[in-house]
Amino acid sequence: MKTSHTVDEARLGIMLNDLRLPTIKTLWPRFAEQADKEGWPAARFLAAIAEHELAERAHRRVARHLAEAHLPSGKTMDSFDFDAVPMISKAQVMAMAAGDSWLAKGANVLMFGPPGGGKSHLAAAIGLALIENGWRVMFTRTTDLVQRLQVARHELQLEAAIARLDKFDLLILDDLAYVTKDQAETSVLFELISARYERRSVMITANQPFGEWNRVFPDPAMTLAAVDRLVHHATIFEMNVESYRRRSALEAKRKRGRPAAYATIKNTPLIDAERQTPAEENLAGDKHGDIITDAAT
């Protein structure tokens, strides 16, 4: 006897819709048939369709989170050549991709280095891995987000706009130092950083170290306050390597496996001091204030 003969299938379909169980709705006839044929205990049938519903739900969730993240395409961990950035520990990055330890407490990641060194690629790759692990991430050029927040501010909706970003465990602000002078005249970026402080994480990439960030915020005091909040719980990646593409092109030309020379960029003492270490561990007590002051002047 087929189970389907003993129930009102149309009504069952409606109930499964109401319960928002689309996968069970699709799969149950096939599973029921198999269960009947093979004499499964009822509990096994129930467990099987429940597992499928859960798996499909997780799959849909990741797809939704990927769509809202606006990650640049093709920038994955697999396609990132860690040998090109010897100062970055692959193990540390992989641990970071799990997310739990830092996202839960709203810690930040700051990536510094000259153009082409792989900051955006690495940031996007970490973002992608986090989404696959169930976190919500948004990747944006900093100038684009600042522009959006400025519009919200004009409409007296800044607070609401910033609150809407709370759904993202991680905001990746790419190219912070490219914020233009007119954009810097408003404090929306500072408002965003303050609102997320110790609650929601931010990952920032920048060609310019802290010392140059005075162009990004309306005044030096605000720069100082922003940097202070950002570094309080932060891991800093200093990616002082020559442009990856330029290097690849040169290496192809040389046809030799000689490592490229490192480009030199002016670094603040803070960045040197914080290389690859969770900043908070090194910023104990009043030392904190001193370092920030040094970095931002």
- With CB under 5 to 8 Å by kind, the binding choice for 245 among ligand ADP, Mg ion, none is ligand ADP
Considering the complex, what minimum distance in angstroms separates the CB of residue 127 from Mg ion? 13
Considering the complex, what minimum distance in angstroms separates the CB of residue 111 from Mg ion? 9
- Site for ligand ADP, residues 57 to 116, rule: CB under 6 A: 75, 79-81, 84-85, 113, 115-116
Considering the complex, what minimum distance in angstroms separates the CB of residue 38 from ligand ADP? 50
- Nearest of 61, 70, 280 to residue 170 by alpha carbon: 70
Instruction: Please give the Cα distance from 218 to 153 (Å, whole number).
Output: 15
Closer CB to ligand ADP, 32 or 250, in the complex: 250
The residues, any chain, with a CB within 8 Å of residue 70's CB and separated by 6 or more, are 138, 139, 140
The yes or no reply on residue 259 touching ligand ADP (CB under 6 A) is: no
Instruction: Please give the Cα distance from 106 to 97 (Å, whole number).
Output: 14
Instruction: Please give the Cα distance from 152 to 161 (Å, whole number).
Output: 7
Distances (CA, A) of 233 to 23, 39, 105, 288: 42, 57, 9, 11
Both tokens of 173, joined, read: 């602000």
Considering the complex, what minimum distance in angstroms separates the CB of residue 122 from Mg ion? 10
The yes or no reply on residue 140 touching Mg ion (CB under 5 A) is: no
Closer CB to ligand ADP, 116 or 211, in the complex: 116
Q: How many residues bind ligand ADP (CB under 6 A)?
A: 17
Instruction: Please give the Cα distance from 249 to 238 (Å, whole number).
Output: 23
Instruction: Please give the Cα distance from 106 to 33 (Å, whole number).
Output: 49
* Cross-strand partners of 173: 140, 204
Degrees, nearest 5: CA angle 80-82-85: 115
Query: Which of 23, 108, 120, 268 is in the footprint of ligand ADP by CB under 6 A?
Result: 120
Considering the complex, what minimum distance in angstroms separates the CB of residue 213 from ligand ADP? 17
Considering the complex, what minimum distance in angstroms separates the CB of residue 80 from ligand ADP? 5
The yes or no reply on residue 127 touching ligand ADP (CB under 6 A) is: no
The yes or no reply on residue 263 touching ligand ADP (CB under 6 A) is: no
Distances (CA, A) of 131 to 27, 68, 95, 117, 161: 27, 10, 14, 24, 22
Query: Which of 21, 77, 110, 120 is in the footprint of Mg ion by CB under 5 A?
Result: 120
Confirm if 137 and 172 have CB atoms less than 8 A apart: yes
Closer CB to Mg ion, 108 or 120, in the complex: 120
The yes or no reply on residue 118 touching ligand ADP (CB under 6 A) is: yes
- With CB under 5 to 8 Å by kind, the binding choice for 211 among Mg ion, ligand ADP, none is none
Chain residues in the site for Mg ion (CB under 5 A):
120
Chain residues in the site for ligand ADP (CB under 6 A):
75, 79-81, 84-85, 113, 115-121, 205, 244-245
